[in-house]
Structure 1
Amino acid sequence: MPLNEVREFSFALLSIVIAILTAGILLALRTSRKAKAFPLPLRILSAFLIGLSGLMLMHVLNKPEGIPLFRLSEWLPAFLAYCLVIFLFLLAGFRLNDYREERKSLRQLAYVDNITGLYNKNGLDDLRNKLKGRERIAVLFLDLNRFKSVNDTLGHHIGDLLLQAIGIRLGEFAGRRRMIYRIGGDEFVMVARGYTQRETEELAVRILERITDAYVLDKHTLSISGSIGISINRSHEKVEWDRLLKEADSAMYTAKQLGSGRYSVFRRMNG
């Protein structure tokens, strides 16, 4: 291939890369949360300068030799072509972003509880499918005490408001190693990865103390407590979710027998 053709091909390829980068930056200015923190006039000015810079770079790279850089009759058709290329990449970026947002919304509907905002049972099932190896995991099974009486006496509206408030407080404990799920009416499961038994018990105490604080909901002041059952999977053991959840559920009923606001750790016969 002649040297000139290699040069033209390289510049054309580089122009495509510039068009993609320009479109990507313009898309980020439109959709990024960090970019939205800046004033709108500044974002518009930035978008104009970035777009113009991209167009000029593409024009300089592909300008035929011997043609003045700013001769309107020579560069205007090419300039419009560069605009079209950037626009097409930008349009593709918007379509891709819309697709990702749509998938995110569908995942939100499928895996997030619409009352508490926590993950739901589908979310827990998704975690179960991902974690099947050997890992230290603590499962905390939380059941609210006397929640049914709130629903029966004050109605489901107040019951839902109470669940929302509890969901907000439980959400304070979510983190990189802690995931919280609402799996039933007044039942919640927290999965703590890498937690020792001592750390898990300390976490259970903090959760019980936090949810016990009074709630003021629609002119009603309510108090509620919980019971937590704990099951620990040792680091050398394969994660068996059915067993862990069954053990945590059993320990939760043991905690209820101890009184309100208590927790219990499941003790296996083999230690």
Structure 2
Amino acid sequence: YTPYRNQSNLPVYDTAANDFNFATVFTDNEFSGHDRISATNAATIGLTTRLYDAETGEQAARFGVAQRYRIKDQAVTLPTSGQTSATNVAQKGVSDLLLGAQINWTSKWSLDTTFQYNPDERRSQRSVVTARYSPEPYHNLTASYRYQGPTVPGGTDGNKSIDVGWQWPLNDLWGDKGKDLGPGRGAGGGRWYAVGRLNYSLQDRKLTDGVLGVEYDGCCWIGRVVLEQLTTGQATASKRIMFQLEFVGFASIGTNPTRTLTQNIQRYQPLRQPYPGASRFTNYD
């Protein structure tokens, strides 16, 4: 519970309505940033269960469900929209129902799903299905299907997209498997790596966002070339190319694309940085 305070005279700099998902459904503030504090009068109920491998202790599966009940309408709003973007949460009554599951078939294969169901309109509002294959360090393939339902039934503002990401040594193509030096140390000198992520809109039939690049590990130096395209509007997109020459343990020249790769490619591993393995608390709720 958070009491209402009139904040209409305060400017908004970096605040926006939170997306509705498992990470935000339990938060007491429905806005990101510090320019608005929501008037919260609600109760959230959730349930999570996990299955573990008795021999290894690794998580084999996780299932979760959550829903929020709002006792009063949200009174604090943003000046640009007049209401929070998640109208099903801001209004009095029950929110959408969140369902999630993660299944680790083996240590290499995993499946992750999230489903958002609108009980009032009896339809799916959002769903994401992700399959991941990661057999060893620096070998990672991810494919996702994303569905965003329209704001109102029969609307045209929804979207369906396919998202594919990867980090894979090109030397594997000609039989050079490299050495297992551990995460953050590469797999030996003289090796090429392909990295990238492509997001394709099935509704618009076009590539919306994309990252393509190659990395070369020269043992004592690393070279990177990365191209990035980001959609900034319905008919506009920004494009840039990043070059970097890194002298390991000394200095680097050019624009560092590591942050772009980390943000766009799930489980991307830098070639020369300590990479913490998946912690047992990574998915702790």
Q: Which TM-score tier does this pair reach, normalised by the shorter chain?
A: under 0.3
**Structure holding more helix per residue:** 1
TM-score (norm 1): 0.23
TM-score (norm 2): 0.22
In our comparison, the structure showing a higher alpha carbon Rg is 1
**Structure holding more strand per residue:** 2
Question: Quick one: higher RCO (CA 8 Å, sep 6+), 1 or 2?
Answer: 1
